[in-house]
Structure 1
Amino acid sequence: MVRTNVVTGSASGIGKATKELLVERGQRVIGVDIANADVCVDLSTVDGRSRLVDEVRDLSGGSVDAVFAIAGLATPTPSTVAVNYFGTVATLEGLRPLLAQSPAPRAVLVSSMAALFPPDEALLDALLAGDESAALARAVQLAENPDTGGLIYGTAKRALSRWVRRTAPRPEWAGASIPLNAIAPGVVLTPMTADLTASDEARQQLAQLVPMPLNGFFEPRDAAELLVWLASEQNAHLCGQIIYIDGGSDAVMRGDSVW
């Protein structure tokens, strides 16, 4: 059966690989990105998030079968907070009514193994409270210092992982038979990580920070394969799971801990 899939971040990286894989399998895809997509919007803005919902509703005819919330940034800037957390949550919550029209709805987003690193607690609290103004203000403070700017990305991803865990079992998701899950990739060879993997020295430094004993860094297609399965009809019972596709980083860094 042909399913209608919405993929944010469809113009590059994991989003592009996911769109291509779905198309190869004969599925319908509505791609979303800031440019070069079926729906071109800026998910760092309230207007862009609203237009995403409106345009997807129009293009889909009012019903979608799967949402892949993949769009994201990795810069030490407030925009990373706006897109990675608030843009992702708005995408999923905004399209949930369209998912509810499907006989087998699925939703999946992309977190990161960076969520395993210590967060900035003030930013994390603002994110989990849904206070975008406070979160952006804190991100501005963090971005002003090169020693703290790097906390923005991992903190936003940790907040996303917690949002999934708290949200997936709720009546409007699990209670409506909509599985909501996430993947947490290690280092994926995308334009987002190009500067970090541009030389052998850079790769070695990154590998020390992000240990990936199983086959090391990987291509976006590998993440796309997992995402597509999570959003398939075959996945009917995973709920609120963060699947670490990270070459072993989680196992190395957390050892016996299961959360």
Structure 2
Amino acid sequence: MGTYAVTGSASGMGAAVVERLLADGHRVVGVDVKQADVTADLSTPAGRRAASAAVLELAGGVLDGAVLAAGLGPAPGRDRARLIAEVNVLGVVELLDAWRPALAKADRAKVVVFSSNSTTTVPMVPRRVVRALLEGDVERALGTLRLLGRAAPTFAYAASKVAVSHWVRRQAVTREWAGAGIRLNALAPGAIMTPLLEQQLATPAEARRIRAFPVPIGGFGDAGQLAAWVVFMLSDAADFLCGSVVFVDGGSDAWFRATDWPRPVPARRVGRYVSRMKEFRTLRRAPS
């Protein structure tokens, strides 16, 4: 049995993950703003530092895995875009940077980061916002988002999930992660029946918008189903899973980009492909 850190552990998909892990006999250190082993506000630097340190202390410096499920969705509010950027991106990156040594001490540690199918179903997400978030520059990201008016929270959410997915893909294949035996992947849900979705469906206008969104199989996902996916991605069966973004969204991603992915390496990127191959061979020869 292992020790796992789970952010967003008090509700929704995070709570469902905690329930499954505990039922399987694992030890869980939950992180949330309330009703958790570690109570912390991931929207602030101090809260992220406190959460990182407290989890490491409770876990004894060794983590068999982590699930980053804490996140904020788009909603009206003056500071909503900032909160989304802080929690959804920095609340993942900063915690995992702090926990990576503890994960490396375990045997074949696994990490699952919650992304979203908004990464591929929200059009015209500003690339400059994604780049700024990847660089940890929230202020620069907000400068662009302010130009979008009331739509800022929606684009902030999609951009945050694109940024964190790119971060997962970039880091997962490095010596610090894959080379240290840590498997880092992301799970991209669609509309899952959680308290947040229930609240949105209670508003007629919001409900109409949500129900009009293409979900080929119909209906909404179940948090327990997503938890089962997470448990699989934390298991030995996922030893060969590295840098993947797994969509569990009722077919919405496939509906919007059926022929966009997988995509062969385009001719204009052959040079970069060869360069990356040389880089990989160099890394393999380098002493660990």
TM-score by length of 2: 0.84
Residue of structure 1 in register with 2:52 after alignment: 53
Q: Which runs of 4+ in 1 moved over 6 A?
A: none
C-alpha deviation, 1:239, in angstroms? 0.8
1:88 aligns to 2:92 (yes or no): yes
Separation in 2, partners of 1:163, 1:170: 11
Alignment deviations for residues 151-204 of structure 1 (CA, whole Å, 9 cap, x no partner):
111111111111111111011011111110001000011122223323787545
1:164 aligns to 2:164 (yes or no): no
Alignment deviations for residues 37-73 of structure 1 (CA, whole Å, 9 cap, x no partner):
0001111111111111211111111101010011000
Residue of structure 2 in register with 1:102 after alignment: 106
* Gap change, CA 1:153 and 1:138, over 3 Å in 2: same
Residue of structure 2 in register with 1:252 after alignment: 255
| Aligned-pair Cα RMSD in Å | 1.7
1:142–1:152 contact (8 Å) kept in structure 2: no
C-alpha deviation, 1:92, in angstroms? 1.4
Separation in 2, partners of 1:201, 1:160: 30
C-alpha deviation, 1:74, in angstroms? 0.6
Alignment deviations for residues 73-121 of structure 1 (CA, whole Å, 9 cap, x no partner):
0134110111001111112111111101101211110000011123122
Runs of 5+ unmatched residues, structure 2: 263-288
C-alpha deviation, 1:7, in angstroms? 0.4
Residue of structure 2 in register with 1:194 after alignment: 198
1:49–1:87 contact (8 Å) kept in structure 2: yes
Alignment deviations for residues 8-49 of structure 1 (CA, whole Å, 9 cap, x no partner):
000000000000111111111000001110001111111111
Separation in 2, partners of 1:18, 1:92: 18
Residue of structure 1 in register with 2:26 after alignment: 27
1:82–1:136 contact (8 Å) kept in structure 2: no
Separation in 1, partners of 2:252, 2:18: 26
Separation in 1, partners of 2:156, 2:13: 20
In terms of fraction of residues, the more helix-rich structure is 2
Larger Rg: 2
Number of residue pairs the alignment of both structures matches: 255
Residue of structure 1 in register with 2:126 after alignment: 120
Runs of 5+ unmatched residues, structure 1: none
Separation in 2, partners of 1:200, 1:149: 20
Separation in 2, partners of 1:253, 1:103: 39
